[in-house]
Homo-oligomer: A and B are copies of this chain.
């Protein structure tokens, strides 16, 4: 019996998602604490491997007993029971029973990320660790240029230019479905992007490139050439992890969330 959990986490206190000996990770915490909730050793599998400091608003994991036996806690009780067991920086937002064949990573058809930039030198304490502290104001005109540049990411491309050097990916072709650059209700400048998959550091390099556009170093019309060149050095810098949020993952069938 496999349970799919939609979780949120504040990446500040974690060395990323993936379990690593001796380090506090999201997978490590879930594996330990869900065992207590389900009354047996548990195997936890994630939809992605987020880096240290990266946050999640709609991350998906599956959890199953190592002995594959049924989980007796009704799925409808999980979101109510989880806060008493999980640490303060992980929240279970929804739960569902899924088929044993379901894989939270391989089944994904779309992932959406948001990168948040705080573009003022006055950084409210509540934002710390949750945004890129860019410190310089980005004008409305520059935002329009960033939005125009981000449009060029759409479509199916070889995104080698937007992949961390040294990645062992053979085929860097990905399809970007949607992009947007906008200011949210809290005043953060946000870059959102959805695709069928992402290369290592792809969103962070895209964001760095959009900041080069805001700074006038790159023009929106340069983006297609930067993509075509398949050269990491042509794109902007890799911005730090703390502005990045995994917003949503989509599966090819409806999930019966409870």
Alpha-carbon gap, A129 to B185, bound state (A): 21
Alpha-carbon gap, A10 to B124, bound state (A): 9
Q: For residue A92, which residue of chain B has the nearest CB?
A: B122
* Interface assignment of A173: CB less than 8 Å from any CB of chain B: no
Closest Cβ of chain B to A10, distance in Å, is 4
B89 touches A125 (CB 8 A): yes
Alpha-carbon gap, A90 to B124, bound state (A): 8
The residue from B10, B93, B185 contacting A126, defined by CB atoms under 8 A apart: B10
Closest Cβ of chain B to A29, distance in Å, is 12
Chain B CB within 10 A, most for which of A57, A88, A125, A130: A125
Alpha-carbon gap, A122 to B57, bound state (A): 12
* Interface assignment of A128: CB less than 8 Å from any CB of chain B: yes
Closest Cβ of chain B to A195, distance in Å, is 24
* Interface assignment of A83: CB less than 8 Å from any CB of chain B: yes
Chain B residues lying within 8 Å of A93, measured Cβ to Cβ, are 122, 124
Alpha-carbon gap, A91 to B135, bound state (A): 13
Chain B CB within 10 A, most for which of A9, A10, A122: A122
B125 touches A90 (CB 8 A): yes
List A23-62 residues whose CB lies under 8 Å from chain B. 55, 57
* Contacts known (A186-B185, A186-B186); A88 close to B125, Cβ less than 8 A: yes
The residue from B8, B79, B122, B124 contacting A124, defined by CB atoms under 8 A apart: B8
Closest Cβ of chain B to A74, distance in Å, is 15
Contact with B along A54-84 (1 / 0, CB 8 A): 0101000000000000000000000110010
Q: For residue A87, which residue of chain B has the nearest CB?
A: B125
Alpha-carbon gap, A9 to B91, bound state (A): 24
Chain B residues lying within 8 Å of A225, measured Cβ to Cβ, are none
* Interface assignment of A109: CB less than 8 Å from any CB of chain B: no
Contact with B along A140-175 (1 / 0, CB 8 A): 000000000000000000000000000000000000
Where the two chains meet, the residues of A that have a C-beta atom closer than 8 Å to any C-beta of B are: 8-10, 55, 57, 79-80, 83, 88-94, 121-126, 128-130, 185-186
